């Protein structure tokens, strides 16, 4: 009877982890906007959109900075409480923004939203990555931005951007607040373990340094590449793309080497996954397709848990990149659906194949999914599906994504050769590697 109740509680916590990670991901992936956007000037709107990748970078650093002390010096119940505080703060930001927001405050409110999302990801990651079921829910919600990015109906996003009242909507944040409150109460009541003496614990700084290196270099490289295209749109930018890709791959490999053991697998796979997802392009999807894609992502996650293989994950990423190169934008909806299904399976499999042993490493890997990529810095032309038949097929996004995946494969090989796998379940070994 007790075991059945415990399994029910773990299932509830897994649902909480799913929705919490999904809402935090949407927060980092989309700008927070309120009704005052109607009063905004084009300059203010431009600043708001420019703040999205910068907010994502801030969110990544905050998530790891929160995960490190919680995962090192506190008991698991504290992680749920911290995630709850972050979600409540986000709710307050949205409520206040809906009533007192001004056009001049949009960018600031977006940064506040990103910080809150980072706190939720950091606390929730430490709480979830201790149990397989919770970790699966956290990962599934985290990669949900591939799906939720197109779910306009759920997010109250219409064709008119001025109809947006908040991304994510307040009712979705409220749902997460309730779920986190119940999980925090359940886990606080279910454990009587005393907190370890904080003064006797040295906090590892290498994961935080890894997050800073990764976020700063990726942000600088992608913004620099975007400026090159803006200043000379008609010129060839092969050298610029190569420099940006090399900088991002080197920075990601360096960040991976700063993590314990082979936990850096997750960061390098996330780099390839976000690149091929950006190169895949966009097209309207019916609302019901979200459940199909989530189910396929879960299938990929289960397959990765049962048969984890980093080379297989890289092969899947290469296959998606080649698909985007070879498939023209006027392809039928069947090819688009097939590609979406393979991308969902690949996303789930990559999450499971990474298998980080140290919670902040998993938080960094999942949070880095929301960082910009060299592909996202390219012009939007050629990255949409179901276009008219006379549209020229631009293979640049696919080729750039393929270069990133191959570069991340080299980084994975270097990490595999230079860093030994820690003993399973050994936290002390993981910390010793930092």
State the CB neighbour count (10 A cutoff) for residue 106.
23
Q: Within 13 Å and on the Cβ side, how many CA atoms surround 200?
A: 3
Q: Would the pTM of this model clear 0.85, i.e. be above it? A: yes
Tokens (6 digits) for 247:
């900088």
φ and ψ at residue 165, rounded to 5 degrees:
-100, -10
φ and ψ at residue 389, rounded to 5 degrees:
-65, -20
Residue 165 to residue 172: CA distance in whole angstroms: 12
Domains and CATH numbers, the chain: 1-203 (1.20.1250), 205-434 (no CATH)
Tokens (6 digits) for 330:
């006027």
Residue 307 to residue 318: CA distance in whole angstroms: 19
State the CB neighbour count (10 A cutoff) for residue 394.
16
Residue 24 to residue 261: CA distance in whole angstroms: 27
* CB contact at 8 A, 383 and 396: no
* Burial state string for 231-254 with b = 16 or more CB within 10 A and e = fewer than 16: eeeeeebeebbebbbebbbebbbb
Q: What is the residue-level pLDDT of the chain in tens, covering all 434 positions?
A: 545 556 787 889 999 999 999 999 888 887 776 655 556 666 666 677 778 889 999 999 999 999 999 988 777 789 999 999 999 999 998 888 777 666 667 788 889 999 999 999 999 999 998 888 899 999 999 987 665 555 444 554 444 444 444 567 788 899 999 999 999 998 876 555 555 444 445 668 899 999 999 999 999 999 999 888 888 776 777 899 999 999 999 999 999 999 998 999 999 999 999 999 988 877 777 767 788 888 999 999 999 999 999 999 999 999 999 999 988 877 778 888 898 899 999 999 999 998 888 999 999 999 999 999 999 888 865 566 766 665 667 788 999 999 999 999 999 999 999 887 654 444 444 443 44
Residue 270 to residue 274: CA distance in whole angstroms: 6
End-to-end CA, the chain: 42
């Amino acid at each position: 009877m007790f075991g059945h109740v415990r399994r029910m509680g773990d299932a509830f916590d897994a649902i909480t982890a799913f929705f919490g990670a999904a809402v935090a991901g949407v927060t980092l992936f989309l700008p927070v906007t309120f009704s005052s956007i109607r009063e905004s000037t084009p300059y203010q709107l431009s600043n708001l959109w420019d703040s999205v990748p910068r907010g994502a970078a801030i969110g990544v650093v905050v998530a790891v900075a929160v995960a490190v002390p919680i995962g090192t010096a506190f008991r698991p119940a504290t992680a749920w409480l911290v995630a709850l505080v972050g979600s409540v703060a986000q709710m307050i930001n949205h409520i206040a923004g809906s009533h007192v927001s001004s056009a001049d405050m949009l960018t600031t409110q977006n940064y506040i939203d990103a910080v809150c999302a980072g706190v939720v990801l950091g606390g929730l990651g430490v709480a979830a990555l201790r149990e397989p079921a919770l970790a699966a829910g956290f990962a599934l919600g985290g990669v949900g931005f591939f799906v939720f990015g197109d779910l306009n109906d759920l997010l109250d996003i219409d064709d008119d951007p001025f109809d947006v009242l908040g991304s994510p909507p307040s009712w979705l944040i409220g749902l997460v607040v309730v779920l986190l409150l119940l999980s925090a109460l359940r886990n606080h009541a279910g454990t009587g373990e005393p907190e370890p003496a904080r003064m006797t614990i040295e906090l590892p700084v290498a994961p935080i340094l890894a997050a800073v290196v990764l976020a700063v270099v990726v942000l600088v490289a992608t913004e620099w590449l975007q400026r090159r295209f803006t200043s000379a749109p008609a010129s060839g930018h092969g050298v610029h793309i190569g420099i940006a890709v090399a900088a991002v791959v080197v920075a990601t490999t360096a960040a991976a080497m700063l993590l314990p053991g082979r936990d850096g697998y997750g960061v390098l796979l996330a780099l390839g996954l976000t690149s091929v997802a950006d190169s895949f392009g966009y097209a309207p999807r019916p609302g019901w397709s979200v459940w199909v894609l989530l189910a396929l992502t879960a299938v990929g996650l289960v397959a990765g848990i049962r048969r984890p293989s980093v080379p297989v994950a890289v092969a899947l990423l290469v296959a998606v990149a080649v698909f985007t190169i070879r498939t023209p934008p006027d392809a039928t909806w069947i090819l688009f659906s097939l590609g979406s299904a393979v991308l969902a399976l690949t996303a789930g499999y990559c999450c499971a194949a990474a298998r980080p042993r140290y919670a902040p490493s998993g938080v960094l890997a999942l949070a880095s999914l929301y960082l910009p990529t060299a592909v996202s810095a390219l012009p939007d032309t050629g990255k949409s599906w179901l276009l008219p038949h006379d549209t020229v097929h631009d293979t640049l996004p696919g080729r750039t994504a393929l270069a990133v995946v191959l570069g991340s494969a080299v980084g994975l090989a270097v990490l595999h050769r230079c860093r030994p796998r820690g003993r399973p379940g050994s936290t002390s070994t993981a910390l010793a590697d930092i």
